[in-house]
Amino acid sequence: MSLAVVFARASLGVSAPLVTVEAHLANGLPAFNIVGLPETTVKEARDRVRSALLNSGFEFPARRITVNLAPADLPKDGGRFDLPIAMAILAASGQIPATSLEQLEFLGELALTGALRSIKGALPAVLAARDSERILILPAGNGIEAGVIHPCPARLAPHLLAITAWLQQEGELAVPEPVISEERDYITDLCDVIGQEGGKRALEIAAAGEHNLLLLGPPGTGKSMLASRLPGLLPPMSEEEALETAAIRSISGLSLDPENWRLRAFRQPHHSASAVALVGGGSYPRPGEISLAHNGVLFLDEMTEFERRVLDALREPLETSSISIARAAHRVTFPARFQLIGAMNPSPCGHYADGYRRSSSEQILRYLSKISGPFLDRFDLSVEIPLLPPGELSRTRPKAEGSAQIRKRVLAARERQLKRAGKTNARLSAAELDKFCPLEQEDAVFLEQALHRMKLSIRAWHKLIRVARTIADLNDEHAIGRHHLIEALGYRAMDRLLQHLQS
């Protein structure tokens, strides 16, 4: 038979659309053409496949070979199509039985010796193959990624010869070893932070309601320490969330740690990161830091050192929990539901208290204007992390509350939110706020007056109500009270600083 069909999977965002690999052998001058919108790396498969087949002891047909990757309008890149192209040629030339390929899918990059090299984006392909009820043949190097899925429809092969022997029932292919999901604790603990009770309380509220948090204070006061403890306060990821996060790491080419893959991500990009590095992009779109932080935490330290346009690129993903990257031929959407933690100094010199100030009000305003007002408006809470008072480090202190104890309160508050509205308070829409977070008339008047005095936006009105609702949930109180609103107003440190400087 001079025509064979083999199934493979492309990589498009976090999905793995089916690709049909058709190989046709025709009479004429020897040639090898690949059609179907292949990128350069796919076109180079011609030389890899030819060498791999010859070095594995197979005959490379001296005929006119045409390989079609369908659908033709779907971009294909990477070395993942080497193996399916080789299998299609072997089947078309009658060197392996073509009937055994109908319920199989193939992915893998071929070495010139015929050995299989691991690929990026194997996890979404395994999930897609499971939904299609086919067996996916993968390189042995992708075994850990495939092992997180139960039951796993994949088989692992180290070499092209191992696959052909298995097809002829002369050997076995390994089944991925299951990755056992054990609940693990984070290395960092909140009890390591000395003092800063206000910052710890704000961190607990942020964890309970999934709120974005801005930490404002002089250098060395513990802002980064507090931010790094947030993942340890969050609820453990569900299996679906863990698979989503692992799939993003897979298409990014990052290794999967079998012991820690269920832990929430904590991403801390350097302030020199570009907009593409942060939100994703490129000629063939790749996920950025916000997608790698999906279901986890994105921490922006020294926030004023980031380019303003880079920070403003986060505004839309913060609202939509996804990022769409459009190119001429296709559009890719990556999930980006992350919790944003920012840290910054209050002035160019790092301090703002009277005893330390070395910057004028004009210099401070110019420094803070590096961050746009609309971006600052995306933070639900902003809290001051001050210098520790004299004697705080040397005095004997009782054992501080640890992350495990605080996490229990966070879990209880999250459970109340999910039971009430099916989502966390930070995700409530304006209509849902009216339904689930009603205020007494006197409290609404009080909050509106405070809003006008602090010159805050309507978005801030909604955020204050969401934060007050979270505080009430932590206290296991059914209704939002005046004391909850007052505490929520206390977490507007940046607004108070700007108001003070402008007055």
Q: Are 49 and 89 in contact (CB under 8 A)?
A: yes
Question: What's the per-residue H, E or C state across 279-347?
Answer: HEECCCCEECHHHHCCCCEEEECCHHHCCHHHHHCCHHHHHHCEEEEECCCCEEEEECCCEEEEEECCC
Question: So what's the pLDDT on residue 204?
Answer: 92
Write down the pLDDT at residue 332.
Answer: 86
What are the Cα distances from residue 37, in Å, to 22, 42, 69, 430, 496? 14, 9, 8, 45, 56
Residue 352 confidence class, pLDDT cut points 50, 70, 90: low
Q: pLDDT tens across 256-276, in order?
A: 888 788 889 999 999 999 999
Exposed (0-12), middle (13-18) or buried (19+): which is 423, by Cβ within 10 Å?
A: middle
Tokens 């009270």 locate to 481
Q: What percent of the chain has pLDDT over 90?
A: 47
Looking at the predicted structure, is the pLDDT value of residue 320 above 80? Answer: yes
Q: What pLDDT digit, counting tens, does each position of 16-28 carry?
A: 999 999 999 999 8
Q: In terms of Cα–Cα distance, which of 354, 365, 308 is closest to 494?
A: 365
Residue 213 clears pLDDT 90, i.e. is over it: yes
The pLDDT of residue 356 is above 60? no
Residue-wise pLDDT for 324-351, tens only, equals 888 766 788 899 999 999 998 887 876 6
Q: Residue 321: what are its φ and ψ, rounded to 5°?
A: 65, 25
What are 156-178's pLDDT values in tens digits?
999 999 999 999 888 899 898 88
Going by the DSSP 8-state scheme, the letter that residue 151 receives in this structure is S
What pTM value is reported for the model? 0.87
Contact 78, 41 (CB under 8 A): yes
**Mean of the pLDDT values across residues 295-305?**
92
pLDDT band at 353 (very low <50, low <70, confident <90, very high): very low
Summarize the confidence of residues 185-199 as an average pLDDT: 79
pLDDT digit string (tens) for 197-211? 888 899 999 999 999
Mean pLDDT over residues 12-41, rounded?
Answer: 90
User: Can you give 231-266 as a three-state secondary structure string?
Assistant: HHHCCCCCHHHHHHHHHHHHHCCCCCCCCCCCCCCE
Q: What is the pLDDT of residues 116-149, one digit of tens each?
A: 999 998 999 999 999 999 999 999 999 988 888 8
Split at pLDDT 50, 70, 90, the class of 106 is: very high
Residue 396 scores a pLDDT above 80? no
- Residue located via tokens 């298995």: 166
Mean pLDDT over each residue of the chain, to the nearest integer: 88
The pLDDT assigned to 217 comes to: 86
453-497: per-residue pLDDT in tens?
Answer: 888 878 888 999 999 999 999 999 888 989 999 999 988 888 787
Which of the four pLDDT bands, split at 50, 70 and 90, describes residue 183? low
Percent of the chain with pLDDT strictly greater than 70: 95
Residue 357: per-residue pLDDT: 54
pLDDT tens digits along 479-490:
898 999 999 998
Residue type (1 letter), 475: N
pLDDT band at 215 (very low <50, low <70, confident <90, very high): very high
Q: What is the mean pLDDT of the segment spanning 376-391?
A: 84
Confidence (pLDDT) at 392: 65
Question: Quick one: pLDDT at residue 355?
Answer: 46
Q: Which pLDDT band holds residue 283 (cuts at 50, 70, 90)?
A: confident
